[in-house]
A and B are shown apart, each in its own frame.
Chain A
Amino acid sequence: MYRRSLGAHVRASLEYEADFWILVFGVGLSQCVGLVFIGAVFAKVPHINGWGLWEVVLMYSMMTIGQGCSELFAEGSWDLPMLVNRGELDRMLVRPYPVILQVCSFRLGMNAFGTLAVGTVLLVTALARLHVHWTPARAAIALLVFASALVVKVSLTVIANASAFWLRGTISTFAAGADQLGDLTRYPLTIYGVGLRAFLSTAVPFAFVGFFPAAWVLGHGQSAWVGLLTPLAAAYCVTVAVLAFRFGLRRYDSAGN
């Protein structure tokens, strides 16, 4: 059902083919800006806090793919403030399907395809440059860790937007701010102070999107093992997202008549 809803949106958007390609191109361009920055930094210094260029690109790519997944699977959550304030959630509440999924599939971020393409190219290139000793077990765990990392990212987007149940503004300023915190974890977590590090790995575990999974795959640093906790972080984030919706819906007042 969820897939069908998204699929229908893709078909609807593809009717405007030119728009589609412009979007894909535009997004690719915006992602490249971040890369140019990384390139510029590494042109001057060979390492940031012991992390090399391709290691940072790996983290960066995970975050980018995560963002693409959010755009693909949870873009509708950005409409939550509008849905809540205009009482548009009513129609979802009278349907026998979890509201959280109806909201997430309410819209499709067409940039998703551009973001995912850029992210994937970066990921593949970085992994090719970095000499990781792959064994079947290691590859299997890496897949699980990466998949969990993406779940963390998507859930955090949904949680940030669920704030709309409590904050009655019509624009998701808070959510956008919270989401941008994630950009901090495009770079090695070790460059930040203890407080920020703790914050980004526990309360708002953005570090589990890029940094910890990458550190584990690379076996880099003393805390590389933390990457193995990514599935736990994912379970935690999904639970919080579901609970946020459950409690949020109890507060939902609908609107007008």
Chain B
Amino acid sequence: MDEPLIRARALTKTFRRPDKGPGLAGSARHLITRKYTEHHAIDGIDLDVAAGEAVAYVGRNGAGKSTTVKLLTGILVPSSGEVRVAGVVPHQDRIANARNIGVVFGQRTQLWWDLPVRETFTLLRDMYRIPPERYRATLARLTEVLDLGPLLPVTGRKLSLGQRMRADLAAALLHEPPIVYLDEPTIGLDIEVKDRVREFLRDLVANGTTVLLTTHDLGDIEDVCRRIVIVDGGRIIHDGPLAAVRDELARERSMHVQPAVPVDLAAIRAALPGTEVSGEPGEFSIRFDRFAYSAGQVAAAVMGLAEIRDFRIDEPGIEDVVRRVYEGGLVESPTGAPA
């Protein structure tokens, strides 16, 4: 198949917002003279995703990440432009598209609130007409990987956030969709559950599932995705391999050092020209360009001046990378202020 699995061309979505004056008077006036402001949530997006690719879709709040996902899943009808997912136009052929995809919204559960998780799964089995043997096998696998056993008899409302997310992941994957959209899947989860979810996503990608992951927690994508698409103001401002973005923009590392006895920071600055040393003589940080110094060189230079009790190196988060894109590191600044 030549066509990419997900293909969007010049996709836009414009919301009309009522332009009300403040307070009751403003609302009343709005009833008579209607004024709207147009808000371009998505402003001309071109995106191709090949089968089996795992793409990180990253941006600040209000950048248009979720709106893109809603257009690709057929929840919203685009204002203009084209979109095809596995040969189907999602908003026109919603049901055919729904069979191909699994969707997880981090902020919103898809479980039936007042039903036990097991009942939710049975309803989904019927909805997708999953053959019984297939269903049993998939459920058994998901139960094991996501440790769902204790959750099955519990109603949706009684699950903790972490439990809910595990059940939600299973609910999105019961029908083994070839395409999975994850919208902020780790939002609000504690580290332990986050790690588990990320590991699960890695396996999912390894098994050939096409994944589009939106997030602003950049730990998610380092584990799962090779390609990163950065959006802002409804436009794609960068699209390329994750590693390249890291090399280009995430050159800076920090080493945090606790010496056994206080040292003179000026001496360290002298030993490592071009770095930035901050903090106290008893505990300080050295920011360095990883292409100018290796971590070993920095550590050796410090050890030449003081005995080190403890030290730690911060890998650059993609968060910093994105911030630097926004600061103008990669592309010209985008048009339109996000909400």
Contacts and interface: CB of A to CB of B under 8 A. Distances in A.
A150 B103 CA distance: 37
B154 to A, nearest CB: 13
Nearest to A91: B110
Given A8-B112, A96-B128, A90 B75 contact: yes
A90 B183 CA distance: 12
Given A254-B70, A257-B61, A93 B126 contact: no
Interface stretch (B93-101, B282-290, B323-331): B93-101
Given A8-B119, A96-B95, A253-B15, A90 B108 contact: yes
B285 to A, nearest CB: 34
Given A4-B126, A252-B76, A96 B98 contact: yes
B37 interface: no
B123 A12 contact: no
B126 A94 contact: no
A156 B53 CA distance: 47
Contacts of B267: none
B115 interface: yes
A250 B62 CA distance: 22
Interface string B117-130: 00100111011100
Contacts of B114: 9, 12
Contacts of A91: 103, 105, 108-110
A254 B76 contact: yes
A5 B114 CA distance: 11
B73 interface: yes
Contacts of A254: 70, 75-76
B75 A94 contact: yes
A94 B73 contact: yes
A19 interface: no
A122 B62 CA distance: 57
Given A8-B115, A250-B77, A257-B66, A94 B127 contact: no
A97 B103 contact: no
A90 B94 CA distance: 12
Nearest to A3: B126
A44 interface: no
Most buried by B among A5, A88, A98: A5
Interface residues of B, number: 36
A111 B126 CA distance: 27
A131 interface: no
Contacts of B105: 90-91
A8 B108 contact: no
Contacts of B70: 90, 254
Interface string A10-33: 001000000000000000000000
B107 interface: yes
B112 A95 contact: no
Contacts of A5: 112, 123
B98 A94 contact: yes
Contacts of A96: 95-96, 98-99, 127-128
Interface in A159-181: none
B245 to A, nearest CB: 23
Interface in A23-54: none
Contacts of A8: 112, 115, 119, 123
A1 B130 CA distance: 12
B74 interface: yes
A232 to B, nearest CB: 28
Contacts of B101: 94
Contacts of B108: 87-88, 90-91
Interface in B126-145: 126-128
Most buried by A among B107, B115, B127: B127
A252 to B, nearest CB: 7
A91 to B, nearest CB: 4
A97 B75 CA distance: 13
B123 A1 contact: yes
Contacts of B124: 95
Contact of A4 (B77, B123, B155): B123
A257 B106 CA distance: 10
Contacts of B61: 257
Shortest beta-carbon contacts, A-B, top 10: A96-B98, A257-B66, A91-B110, A94-B103, A93-B75, A1-B126, A96-B95, A96-B99, A8-B119, A12-B114
22 contacts: A1-B127, A4-B122, A4-B126, A5-B112, A8-B119, A12-B115, A89-B75, A90-B108, A91-B110, A94-B75, A94-B110, A96-B96, A96-B128, A97-B95, A250-B77, A253-B76, A254-B75, A256-B107, A257-B61, A257-B66, A257-B107, A257-B183
